[in-house]
A and B are shown apart, each in its own frame.
Chain A
Amino acid sequence: MRHSAVVHRPQRAGAVPIAYALLAALILALSAWQAQLSRDSSGAHWSVALLVVTAFGAALILGRGRQDQTTRRWVARNVHFVRIWRTQSRSAVVSALVWAVLIGGVVAWDLVSFVVQSHALPTLSYFIGHVTRYAVGRGLLFAAWLGVGAYLVSARRAERRQ
């Protein structure tokens, strides 16, 4: 089996921890600033919009030639898994089913509650609003949101291909 397409570059030992420390400091500073803002302020609107655009830009730059699989291959593998589910291990099938029900249940129930717009059916963001109405809660949740975004942008990258 050939591995010539994959480049194994030596890690620069000092650069990675420094980059993570800078990223953590940036997240903390942004969160402390964001904690003082209200949902209606232009600062909140511009900062969130800019961060979302930056996340997509960073994902494109970091992922160029380093995405784990092509979309076609990813879809084909999942279709194949569903087609031959009887031959898969019981633990894999049970896991897939339970995750699908839980994730689908949360998304579906939130959508139903959002569409109905009734006090009897609060959305998930209604409960989150109890946290974000306080500066500390808003700041902490913003830090968590940024951390999740940074992970989604940078995690699961393959070695760069030539």
Chain B
Amino acid sequence: MMSAIVPGTVVWIALAGSVVVWLGVLALSAGRLVGPRRVVGWFLGSWLSRGMILAAWGAAGWHIFCQRP
């Protein structure tokens, strides 16, 4: 188990921070910017994109619940 913060963790923290900042900007934009609901809606707009996002969902579930501790 890792106890110190490794370089990869720093990148994840930066990515998480960016997401939080962006969600804050979206909350303040009063609907002028494209929010997460519309992004998900975009993914669900066609059979191809819906199938791809469902495949990613299934793969994530398999990895998390059948391969990870």
User: Which residues of A come within 8 Å of B, CB atoms?
Assistant: 34, 39, 44-45, 48-49, 51-52, 55-56, 59, 63, 67-71, 73-75, 91-92, 94-96, 98-99, 102-103, 105-106, 109, 113, 118-122, 124-125, 127-129, 132-133, 138, 141-142, 145, 148-149, 151-153, 155-156
Is chain A's interface secondary structure helix, strand, loop, or mixed overall?
helix
Counting contact residues on chain B (CB < 8 A from A), the size range is 35 or more
A-B contact count (CB 8 A): 131
Q: How far is the CA of A97 from the CA of B62 in the complex (A)?
A: 30
Q: Tell me which residues across on chain B come within 8 A of A51, comparing CB atoms.
A: 61
Q: A106-B15, A132-B69, A152-B53 known; A70 and B46 CB under 8 Å? A: yes
* Choice from B6, B7, B64 contacting A141 with Cβ under 8 Å: B64
